[in-house]
Amino acid sequence: MAHISNHMNRGRIDGIKSRNGFSLLEMVIAIGVFASVLAISVQIVLSASDAQVRSSLQRAVQDNIRYSIEYMNKELRTARGITTLHNDGSSCGPQAFCERIRFTNDRAQQIMYCILNSVLIRSKPLGGAGGDCDPLDPESINIHLTSNDVTINSLFFYVAGNAAGSSDGQPIMTATINVTGTTGKARTAVNMHLQTTVVQRLRDF
């Protein structure tokens, strides 16, 4: 009788233990599921954060480049004597893609747009000379039109109809620009390729 009672008590204790605890396998499975859910959640948060940074960076790059292009277009509309040049200063052939554009603005200043150290530059003369995009020329004032967060990879100008005369002399200018905006992290770099076209308002005679 005592043997039966002891057996029943032991079975009752084993049942209580099995109901109140977890086996090693159950614990391993629970930890694995929790770790998977945590990893997925962290990845979603990081992806959302990265998308927000890229979106913000893209808007910043667009605003920066839009200002620069609008500034350049406004000045080119009232320009005179438009010519294009290569980076070494040599003249471009007709209807060729060139890295620099030079003209006389509505204040009779010789202006040049170019790229220096991956920055879009508006070069104007200091006094009566200059305006040649030469960083060592003391008679040139080179104004940065893009910020340090924007890298200008390439800039090309294409001009047609710039031969003076009554049959032509009203140039059409197209500028293509390739830019990269970064936040210091390669994974958040944004690359853009933009193009703009402007027509000179007054005809060159």
pLDDT tier at 60 (50, 70, 90 boundaries)? Answer: confident
Angle in degrees, CA 37, 38, 41, rounded to 5: 85
Question: pLDDT per residue over 78-113, tens digit each?
Answer: 998 888 999 988 888 877 899 999 999 988 889 999
Higher pLDDT: 133 or 187? It is: 133
The percent of residues in the chain predicted with pLDDT above 90, rounded, is 26
pLDDT tier at 2 (50, 70, 90 boundaries)? Answer: very low
List b or e across 100-121, with b for residues whose CB sees 16 or more CB atoms inside 10 angstroms.
bbbbbeeeeebbbbbbeeebbb
pLDDT tier at 20 (50, 70, 90 boundaries)? Answer: low
pLDDT of residue 130: 78
Its pTM stands at 0.70
pLDDT tier at 171 (50, 70, 90 boundaries)? Answer: confident
